[in-house]
Structure 1
Amino acid sequence: MTAATLQARKNRTAMLALLGAAAMLGLGYAAVPLYQLFCQVTGFGGTTQRASESDADIAARQAASGAARTISVRFDANTAGDVPWSFHPEQPTDTVTIGQRDMAIYIAKNNSNERITGTATFNVEPEQAGKYFNKIQCFCFTEQVLEPGQQVRMPVLYYVDPKALDDPNMDGVEQITLSYTFHRALDLAE
């Protein structure tokens, strides 16, 4: 084998290794959004569904056509260690009629002397309830910016889909927990 042939093989091997590393890096970055999309579509891991006003109207009509059933919803609020906010639900639980829209209010206060942008992650427990818990409006859909000392009331407009009543996996579920955790987000204005 000539030196030129050997060098060409080394170059080809190096190029393939570089392309393989770039592909792995790309897959690493794509994994999070693809996993989030999977969870949103399937309700996997207690991921709630995002609904429109018309979806809520259809669910309300379905609920009105049968016997009204209720379920308890517990509200949970947390902050990551680097978010110096007070964050809590206005009321810890609510009993809601399945299929009917309801509203929960969360309160956040920036206890620091700096502007902080936060983003809320959320989930629902038990896991099987995630695909039936639909949010119409939520502070979690956008980043929240709180100035030093600022306190805000943040509503969540939601409903529990009546299809939950037909799911055998939901048998015995008497309470759904909606949990939020605020994390610090990159503040582009800084």
Structure 2
Amino acid sequence: MNKNTRVALVLGGLVCGMVGLAFASVPLYRLFCQVTGFGGTTQVSEAGAEDNLVVSDRDMTIRFDSTVNGDLPWKFKPAQRAVDLKVGEEGIAFYRAKNTSDKKVKGVATFNVTPLKAGQYFVKIDCFCFSEQTLLPGQEVDMPVTFYVDPEIENDPNLSDVKTITLSYTFFRDDEEEGQEVSDLSNNAGSNPVIEIN
């Protein structure tokens, strides 16, 4: 094998490796964020807080924030600005969304918490952000999120000063194919209860 062929094979292998890392980087970064809470990424629990957690005496205020990407013709805001609860206590909040267009529109939410260092201790049990949402023309709904603050926060000296956590959502338009299965809020048969506003 001559020198040029060897160099071409090495460069080809390097390119293939870089392409593979590019595809793997998003799921690996998401896994890293979920494990560490990096960037305000919250944790997800399949069980309620009352199943295995001790409620502490520490008070925590959870504030709620919302934004909508300009491509999505929705109004979206929290139904309440904040809730007070104890660390380890399960809480529920609602966000209100309205489709202001004359067409059926799909949306998908991203989320984070601040301060970022609290992300690994903020646990969502049930959330509208786990799936795509579809609103019919003019439809307005309340969407719930159920959560708790993990009592492990008490053992982290870097979070002893945290008394308020802000949960923020941003809704984006989801323009994937219409034939794809989505969670339609008007006929939602899943575990997320949806309350229509009249």
TM-score range, shorter chain: 0.7 to 0.9
Q: Is residue 2:129 matched to residue 1:135?
A: no
Alpha-carbon distance in structure 2 between the residues aligned to 1:11 and 1:183: 48
Unaligned runs of 5+ in 2: 180-198
Unaligned runs of 5+ in 1: none
Q: CA deviation at 1:49?
A: 0.5
Q: Is residue 2:45 matched to residue 1:51?
A: yes
State whether residues 48 and 90 of structure 2, in contact with CA within 8 Å, keep that contact through their aligned partners in structure 1: no
Give the structure with the higher percent helix.
1
State whether residues 79 and 87 of structure 1, in contact with CA within 8 Å, keep that contact through their aligned partners in structure 2: yes
Alpha-carbon distance in structure 2 between the residues aligned to 1:20 and 1:81: 40
Moved more, 23-32 or 87-96: 23-32
Deviation per CA, 1:157-178: give whole Å up to 9, x if none.
1011112122211112111000
State whether residues 61 and 164 of structure 2, in contact with CA within 8 Å, keep that contact through their aligned partners in structure 1: yes
Percent identity between matched residues is 47
Q: Is residue 2:22 matched to residue 1:33?
A: no
Q: CA deviation at 1:69?
A: 2.4
Alpha-carbon distance in structure 1 between the residues aligned to 2:176 and 2:136: 12
Paired residues for 1:28-177 under 5 Å:
28-53=22-47, 56-59=50-53, 62-63=54-55, 66=56, 68-177=57-166
Q: How has the CA–CA distance of structure 1 residues 133 and 84 changed in structure 2, closer, same or farther, with 3 Å as cutoff?
A: same
Q: How has the CA–CA distance of structure 1 residues 23 and 113 changed in structure 2, closer, same or farther, with 3 Å as cutoff?
A: farther
State whether residues 139 and 155 of structure 1, in contact with CA within 8 Å, keep that contact through their aligned partners in structure 2: yes
Whichever residue aligns with residue 27 of structure 2, its letter is P
Alpha-carbon distance in structure 2 between the residues aligned to 1:56 and 1:187: 38
State whether residues 118 and 184 of structure 1, in contact with CA within 8 Å, keep that contact through their aligned partners in structure 2: yes
TM normalised by structure 1 equals 0.85
Q: How has the CA–CA distance of structure 1 residues 185 and 172 changed in structure 2, closer, same or farther, with 3 Å as cutoff?
A: same
Alpha-carbon distance in structure 2 between the residues aligned to 1:56 and 1:132: 16
Q: How has the CA–CA distance of structure 1 residues 21 and 147 changed in structure 2, closer, same or farther, with 3 Å as cutoff?
A: farther
Whichever residue aligns with residue 130 of structure 1, its letter is G
